[in-house]
Amino acid sequence: MSIASLSTESRSQVLLRSSYVDASTNEDGRANQSERQLAVLSSSKLEACVNDGSEEMDCSMKMVLTVTLEHGQLNTESAQFMVDEVKDDSDNAKKLLKPWRLSWKKTPAYWRYPIRYVQDVNNKPIETVVKTGFLGCSDNSNTNEEELTCGVAKAGGERILDSEGFCCGCDLNDRFSGLPTRGQLDCSITSVSESAHCLGFDPLWYSIFEVDPPQVFYDIEVELAKPDNPDAPWSNVTYQTTSMILNHQQPYASAEDGALNLQLVGDLATARSPYSFESRYLAVPNSPASHARVNEELPLQSAMLIDKSFFDLSGLTCNKIGVSYTAFKRQTQECESPTQSCLASQLDDLHKEDIERESRGAPPRHLVRGFCEGAVELGKSGKGRSGSTRFLACPMAQRHTTLMRLEAKAEEAMFVTNVASGKIIAAVAPAFEALTGGGDVRIGVISTGRVVAQFVVGVTNCSEQFAAGPALTVSIEPYETATQSIRLIASQTGGGDYHCWVALSNSLGQVVDSKLVKFNVSDMQVTNGAQSGEMQRPGEVLGDDSGGGGDCSDVCPGAVDVLCFIAHSCWSRVGILLLLCAIVFGGLFLCVKFSLPCRILGCLCSSLLSEPKRRRPSE
């Protein structure tokens, strides 16, 4: 239904009374209400008409209220509309002496992220080494698979390219320099061993999903209570209730043939924007079901949100998630690199890194629980008709305000807000490291009132260089408790002892309790990552005049430039040169001492020279 026209008739007064309930009762048994001006967003009385194209429009006087709701709000607010008369089952007008009661509540809101399956990837590709004798290793892709040392992988009965691995042996450089080999071979002068290097996969596999922009989800339940017998005294009045649901999928609802209309207008902006995960993949442990990280009930328990720069799903890049046979076999200097090279920065490595960070009290960088607390529990799986569910959602950890429009065919309305007293029963902040994502203040509160009411919990007046996250709203039943967590944000590198104040306010904005919370912050721990380690290097720093560096063959191109070899530590070139000298001088020694090599050379020379002489007579 839409309002087609508004009456131009002047209305001198809109009857809206705003009250709060303190849960006491008066003599007639009704709740005691104290009048107070409340922040109702808007209220008006107007003549609403419906134009369906007929000659006459259907018009009636209506009260219109626009109210706000916080997420997770229980029945802490209500409205009462005084309707002059309604029609009974016989279509007869009947005078109403008791109002309609309208109450509402809003479920906790959350951001839901649609996900799209991409593929499965392995937790940790692993290199295995097979040691063989001289010429015992085979990695020729044209060889029969039975002759290949590593064997081959097959998909659909077809051999997978480059799955045969590669072979390594001992070259002259390994024999004379004593450098370790990839297969840890004994590269002495007499050694003739080789090693085959094969790529295998860990038993654990992760499912990879694309993450789309989020959409907010919640439900507003509105309950209409009408007196069954308008003539009954207040002490015996009973109500007939009707429930209506509003959400972004169903933003309109109505009751009593249009006498009451509801509309979800929209949401106000939040203090913090939702996380954006379009640049990340969601990795969920998938199989085997017996693995410790695969949790069918809580699939996101060990799931991670990882930046896409960590991935190359083509399998052609070393040290990327998704690395496969071709990248492993075609890696540069494969036999000079250590084992497991080309297989770094995998899912298993990132998971272990986050577990280690959590053990130090630092927030994880990749685990889902490090982005939004409660996502693991919200993603609880249920068995569907064809498999388990995969659900990524982040609960709102801040205020989320919704506008709702109420339109009732009534002469006056009263807006009621429940209010209760409360206490802060606990406020603690565990120690944390400066500039590592901050810590949290964990707050426990209890309602000491007699009605379900809404409270606001906030952290204020912190020490200098500290700030807190937005205040939170929570609805609490009488003598029930609630626990909330608010982020602390540090802006300095140094540690020390600091404090903040925790304040608890009722639904009227009055501070009903406060508590000082002290916390300790340790100094920021500086780390150099992969560039760690100290060492005094010999030599001097020279300008780059050569246009780039290179290996010994580039630096010392001469075959017998011994001084250059020694200056640049090209000991393998020195060894090769000494070996060649030993062979030459050994041959000369044998010629002089025994004349055997010379005789052999003489015989060869004489035979070559005498062959043409035997052919001349025949010419």
63 and 199 assigned to the same domain = no
Q: pLDDT-derived band of residue 444, with 50, 70 and 90 as boundaries?
A: very high
What is the C-alpha separation between 408 and 62, in angstroms, rounded? Answer: 5
The answer to whether residues 442 and 469 touch, using CB atoms and an 8 Å cutoff, is: no
Give pLDDT, residue 90: 58
Coil, strand, or helix at residue 328? helix
Residue 540 placed within a domain: no
158 and 289 assigned to the same domain = yes
**Is a pLDDT exceeding 70 seen at residue 527?**
yes
What is the C-alpha separation between 71 and 398, in angstroms, rounded? Answer: 9
What is the C-alpha separation between 424 and 445, in angstroms, rounded? Answer: 4
Give pLDDT, residue 537: 60
Chosen domain end from 360, 382, 417: 417
The answer to whether residues 333 and 267 touch, using CB atoms and an 8 Å cutoff, is: no
137 and 202 assigned to the same domain = yes
Residue 279 CA to chain centroid, in angstroms?
10
Give pLDDT, residue 303: 94
Task: Kindly report the CATH number assigned to the domain that includes residue 507.
Answer: 2.60.40.2030
CA of 484: how far to CAs of 301, 420, 469, 472, 507, in Å? 21, 18, 12, 8, 17
**Is a pLDDT exceeding 60 seen at residue 87?**
no
Question: How many domains is the chain partitioned into structurally?
Answer: 4
Please, which residues bridge with residue 526 across strands? none
User: Is 464 or 33 the better-scoring residue by pLDDT?
Assistant: 464
Give pLDDT, residue 600: 62
Across all residues in the chain, what is the average pLDDT?
79
325 and 448 assigned to the same domain = no
Give pLDDT, residue 615: 42
86 and 141 assigned to the same domain = no
Chosen domain end from 476, 499, 522: 522
Q: Which domain holds residue 376?
A: 115-211+274-395
H-helix or E-strand spanning residue 50:
strand 42-50
What is the C-alpha separation between 521 and 446, in angstroms, rounded? Answer: 29
Give pLDDT, residue 616: 41
Q: pLDDT-derived band of residue 273, with 50, 70 and 90 as boundaries?
A: confident
**Is a pLDDT exceeding 80 seen at residue 442?**
yes
207 and 317 assigned to the same domain = yes
CA of 2: how far to CAs of 27, 301, 485, in Å? 43, 47, 43
432 and 507 assigned to the same domain = yes
Give pLDDT, residue 420: 93
Chosen domain end from 338, 360, 395: 395
Helices 571-594 and 596-615: crossing angle, nearest 10°? 70
Residue 465 placed within a domain: yes
What is the C-alpha separation between 470 and 396, in angstroms, rounded? Answer: 11
Please, which residues bridge with residue 102 across strands? 79, 224
The answer to whether residues 542 and 568 touch, using CB atoms and an 8 Å cutoff, is: no
**Is a pLDDT exceeding 60 seen at residue 618?**
no
102 and 246 assigned to the same domain = yes
278 and 264 assigned to the same domain = no
Residue 613 placed within a domain: no
Q: pLDDT-derived band of residue 29, with 50, 70 and 90 as boundaries?
A: very low
Give pLDDT, residue 28: 43
Tell me the three-class secondary structure of 193-255, residue by residue: CEEEEEEECCCCEEEEEEECCCEEECCEEEEEEEECCCCCCHHHCCEEEEEEEECCCCCEEEE
pLDDT in tens, 53-80: 777 777 777 788 888 888 887 777 777 7
222 and 76 assigned to the same domain = yes
147 and 185 assigned to the same domain = yes
What is the C-alpha separation between 594 and 599, in angstroms, rounded? Answer: 9
Structure tokens of 510?
């009055």
Give pLDDT, residue 260: 86
Share of the chain above pLDDT 70, in %: 75
CB neighbours of residue 526 within 10 Å:
6
Half-sphere exposure of 487 (CA within 13 A, CB side): 16
Residue 427 placed within a domain: yes
pLDDT in tens, 218-256: 999 999 888 777 666 666 777 888 899 999 999 999 888
pLDDT in tens, 106-142: 998 999 999 999 999 999 999 999 988 888 889 988 8
Q: pLDDT-derived band of residue 174, with 50, 70 and 90 as boundaries?
A: low
Structure tokens of 13?
């007064």
Give pLDDT, residue 165: 92
Q: Residue 352: name the closest of 295, 294, 293 by CA.
A: 293
232 and 367 assigned to the same domain = no
